[in-house]
Structure 1
Amino acid sequence: MSIEESLAGLAEQNGPDLEARVFAGWLTAPSRLGDVHVAVTGAGVQYLRSADGTPGESFAETYRERFGRPLRQLSKAPRGLLPALKGSKGQGPDLDVGGLSEFERSVLDVTSRIPAGQVRPYGWVAREAGRPAAVRAAASVLARNPVPLLVPCHRVVRGTGVLGDYMYGAERKRELLSAEGLDVDGADAATARGELFVASDTTGIVCFPSCHHARRITGPHRRPFRKVDAARAAGYRPCRDCRPAAVA
């Protein structure tokens, strides 16, 4: 008898409370990345990975190695999961990030608040998470993101403005951002010109180029900057919504 079978028998003898403590549940669901495998505990979604070429048994083994618990298949997705995987606005599912460090949770929380169709650099994430010098550490946290899509690490880019890599490939990152409304080719062109920030000479405010305020600035009133400090020196105030001062 396998360990999982022994645990299942013990859980069945002692009721659903013990079963919930022993096992996490898993299911396969459709998403913007195609089908994904999702692991769920009583506290929320804990782990998500692409199902492309990955059998459920392999996902369960990877999960057990990382989190130390066996999985049982679920018949029903938790509330909010399916709409969130499709990119719908609204309340997503609860997330189980209790096993992460305080900094890791902060990085994921900050990243989860980046609006759809907008991007922010790793330096912004690190500063918003309370550790401005920990840019590489923030990037490492997102490289290991246990719940991509639900925590949209595809919306975080390099400090140079380059969109950069993604755990499922740079092209998938571009596809996700484009589907959310970001002009990725335009963003590439602006980055090549060194336009990492954009100010409006009518409002006196400087933003990240993908900020919804920046998108409304008409051509004659756009003032590009490579550094936010240069914009501030020219008399522009950092946007209170996208907070570009976080990378100063």
Structure 2
Amino acid sequence: MTQDPLLTGLAALAVEPPEALLDRIAARWIRVPAPIGELSVAYTDQGVAYVHSGDGFTRAFRERFGRPLLPAARPPAGLVPALRTGRLSGLRLDLRGLSPFQRSVLEAARDIPRGEVRPYAWIAARIGRPKAVRAVGTALGHNPVPLLIPCHRVIRSDGAAGEYVFGPAAKERLLAAEGVDLERLRALAGERVFYLASDTTGVVCFPTCHNARRITAAHRHGFRSLSQARAAGYRPCRTCRPATDDIPA
């Protein structure tokens, strides 16, 4: 690892710089296990800032954040289980430097429960930018803390995983491990079914919503759009909150 000039200067001081000072001007990094293999994680005094796999971690971090990196003796408390489950449980994230749009996209993605997926258009609708579906995809593709913010739970409407910072194959493995049946979603999409409704509850949901998974075949009805389901007398689920009349993208 190339020595950072700032760290070289600090090393030349007559006394050791205090840890609090180092943590304000540098970031710590460590390799940790994750569901898709070992990952490099950088964190600052504000929280976890960057999750990366493969080569180029140091260069990519410096280009993005402009901070030198110091090795950490141990990961932040809660990091390893958070990478495994997507539940932060008090683990802080450092999302400084993101635009308000990027932050809103990631905050919406953070609300998707484990074992469920949403289309890109759902994110766009949730943040009040229903026509910004492509920009949503770009923002998710630049998520600095994948797994901790579960952008892998946002997929294409045809059931295809779509792009992912660690690759589509890793995205499919993560979703399968969480219990998402992508083959079923693809089959439904092939029939132009993007929403499922129950005639016993009068509620329409996204297919992976835990409420939709409880609908028995005899009481299940599929719809192409939310407006079509509403016209048939169904109300949107208050749990998965389908929020757009457009076919998911």
TM superposition score normalised by structure 2: 0.91
Residue in 1 that maps onto 2:179:
181
Q: 1:130 aligns with which of 125, 128, 131?
A: 128
> 1:29, CA displacement in angstroms?
0.2
Give the conservation status (yes or no) of the 8 Å contact 1:121–1:161. no
**Once the two structures are aligned, what percentage of the paired residues are identical?**
47
**Per-residue deviation, 1:94:** 0.7
Measure, in 1, the Cα distance between the counterparts of 2:24 and 2:87: 31
Greater fraction of residues in helix: 1
Q: Does 1:164 align with 2:168?
A: no
Unaligned runs of at least 5 residues, structure 1: none
Give the TM-score taking structure 1 as reference length.
0.91
| Greater displacement, 75-84 / 159-168 | 159-168
Deviating beyond 6 angstroms after TM superposition, the runs of 4 or more aligned structure 1 residues are: none
| Inter-partner Cα distance in structure 1 for 2:175 and 2:229 | 27
Residue 38, structure 1, aligned to residue 41, structure 2: yes
Alpha-carbon distance in structure 1 between the residues aligned to 2:228 and 2:4:
64
Instruction: State the partner residue of 2:24.
Output: 21
- The answer on whether the counterparts of 1:92 and 1:150 sit within 8 Å (CA) in structure 2 is no
The answer for the alignment partner of 2:8 in structure 1 is 6
Instruction: State how far apart, in whole Å, the 2-side matches of 1:2 and 1:200 are.
Output: 60
* C-alpha contact (below 8 Å) 1:7/1:22 kept by paired residues: no
Deviation per CA, 1:52-84: give whole Å up to 9, x if none. xx2xxx311211111101100101111211101
Q: Deviations over 1:79-135 (max 9, x none)?
A: 211101122756152100021111111111110110011111111111212322221
Could you report, residue by residue, the CA deviation over 1:166-209 in whole angstroms, capped at 9, with x for unpaired residues?
A: 22222211111110011122122112111100000111100000
Give the stretch that moved more between structures: 87-96 or 218-227. 87-96
Equivalent position SS for 2:49: strand
Question: Which fold has the larger relative contact order, with Cα–Cα distance below 8 Å and residues 6 or more apart in sequence?
Answer: 2
Contact 1:81 1:92 in 2 (8 A): no
Counterpart residue number, 1:50: 53
Give 2:77's aligned residue.
79
CA RMSD of the aligned region, Å?
1.9
